[in-house]
Amino acid sequence: MSLGAMPIHRFGTEEQKQEYLPSLLSGEHLAGFGLTEPEAGSDAGATRTTAHLDGEEWVIDGTKQFITNSGTDITRFVTVTAVTGQREGRKEISTIIVPNGTPGFTVEPAYDKVGWNASDTHPLTLQGVRVPKGNLLGERGSGFRSFLSILDEGRIAISALATGAAEGCLEAAVDYAQQRTVFGAALSTRQNAQFTLARMRARVHTARLAWHHAARLRDAGRPFAEEAAIAKLVSGEAAMDNARDATQIFGGNGFMNEYAVGRHYRDSKILEIGEGTTEVQLLVIARSLGLAG
């Protein structure tokens, strides 16, 4: 919900807030966050989608990919980034609200994903899409910067989600190890299994501390981009590492869909990719250390 509602909450006019937020917050509608493109993933500044003013309307052309909540029956709109001109020799990127059902705005068939199949995800095509001039969200040229700030907050939410996934794997693995008998004794009595479970517990603890710290900074109105990146990095890796270790604890059963760890194994990988890849988090952290490049 936050990726759809937060841009309106943070940067919308009072009229836009009154128009869109009530139904988003009530759950009547969903909204998408249209940043990623085929040639603009981690390098989101490489946006190729364009928008120009024709009288009192924006005319938008381009494509987006991996857009969550963009094609459900209750999706109301997608906020999209688009190049609206040049400013000091650089792309001027703005954000525009595009209601679903607008002529020329096509929600392509959903992706066939490895995991997160409960999450609605589509590519989008915009061909001569016309929306009112007033659908500009925030100041013209501030779209890229605004979306990045939304991602900083979103990384804390993803970190909390990843921590929960890592803990779910731990709980399942502990229960299974206590019940599973190998060579005449419970698997949990074997030191190798104990050490694996102990490392899983340490990852959960570290991940939770990281996102709690980032959240406290954010709530206090203090800079938190670096801490959010650290939390995203640590928790995403914790979820994936714990999913792998839980699957190993389960042995052959870990490869069977009847056990939750199989789903965790499929679902956790996206936590190292979505909301900024592990490599992007490392880049953010490196830049906070004053390492340019």
The catalytic site residues sit at 275
d(CA 161, CA 252): 27
d(CA 66, CA 47): 14
* List of E strands, the chain: 30-34, 50-54, 57-68, 75-87, 90-99, 105-107, 121-132, 136-137, 181-182, 185-186
Residue 290: how many other CB atoms lie within 10 Å:
6
β-strands 105-107, 50-54: how paired? unpaired
Task: Using alpha carbons, select from 115, 119, 10 the residue that is nearest to residue 75.
Answer: 119
Expressed in percent and rounded to 5, the helix, strand and coil fractions of the chain are 50, 25, 25
d(CA 256, CA 124): 34
Residue 126: how many other CB atoms lie within 10 Å:
25
d(CA 192, CA 33): 44
d(CA 59, CA 63): 14
Q: Which residues of 73-84 are buried (b: 16+ CB within 10 A; e: fewer)?
A: eebbbbbbbbbb
